[in-house]
Structure 1
Amino acid sequence: MNYLFVMIGAFWGAIARYGVSLWLGDMTFPMATITVNIIGCFLLGFLLTLVSLSRHDRRIWALTFGTGFLGAFTTFSAFALDALLLTLPMALLYIGISVVVGVIFAGAGVWTARVVYARIRKV
Structure 2
Amino acid sequence: MKLTNLLSVAFFAFIGGNLRYLIGQALGLVGTLSVNLGGCFLLSFLTYYLFDRRHVPSWLTTGLGTGLIGAFTTFSTFSLELSKLLLAHAWGAASAYFLLSSVGGLTSVWLGYLLAQRLRGLNR
Alignment counterpart, residue 5 of structure 1, candidates 5, 8, 28: 8
Aligned positions, number: 117
* Mapped partners of 1:44, 1:116: distance in 2: 15
Q: Can you give the 5+ residue segments of structure 2 that lack an aligned partner in the other structure?
A: none
Look up the match of 1:49. 48
Quick check: 1:50–1:114 contact (8 Å CA) kept in 2?
yes
* Mapped partners of 2:47, 2:109: distance in 1: 10
* Mapped partners of 1:34, 1:81: distance in 2: 12
* Mapped partners of 1:61, 1:115: distance in 2: 23
* Mapped partners of 2:81, 2:17: distance in 1: 18
**Percentage identity across paired residues of the two chains:** 36
* Mapped partners of 1:107, 1:62: distance in 2: 20
* Mapped partners of 2:56, 2:38: distance in 1: 25
Alignment counterpart, residue 89 of structure 1, candidates 87, 92, 98: 92
Look up the match of 2:103. 100
Q: Can you give the 5+ residue segments of structure 1 that lack an aligned partner in the other structure?
A: none
Quick check: 1:14–1:69 contact (8 Å CA) kept in 2?
yes
Q: Deviations 1:52-102 (Å, cap 9, x if unpaired)?
A: 531324422321111000101100000001011102221111000100011
* Mapped partners of 1:7, 1:77: distance in 2: 20
Quick check: 1:83–1:94 contact (8 Å CA) kept in 2?
yes
Quick check: 1:42–1:108 contact (8 Å CA) kept in 2?
yes
RMSD: 1.4
Quick check: 1:51–1:59 contact (8 Å CA) kept in 2?
no
Could you say if the C-alpha distance between residues 120 and 60 of structure 1 is closer, same or farther in structure 2, counting changes exceeding 3 Å? farther
* Mapped partners of 2:120, 2:59: distance in 1: 18
Quick check: 2:51–2:61 contact (8 Å CA) kept in 1?
no
> Normalising to structure 1: TM-score of the pair?
0.87
Moved over 6 A (4+): none
Amino acid at match of 2:34: T
User: How far 1:51 sits from its partner (Å)?
Assistant: 3.7
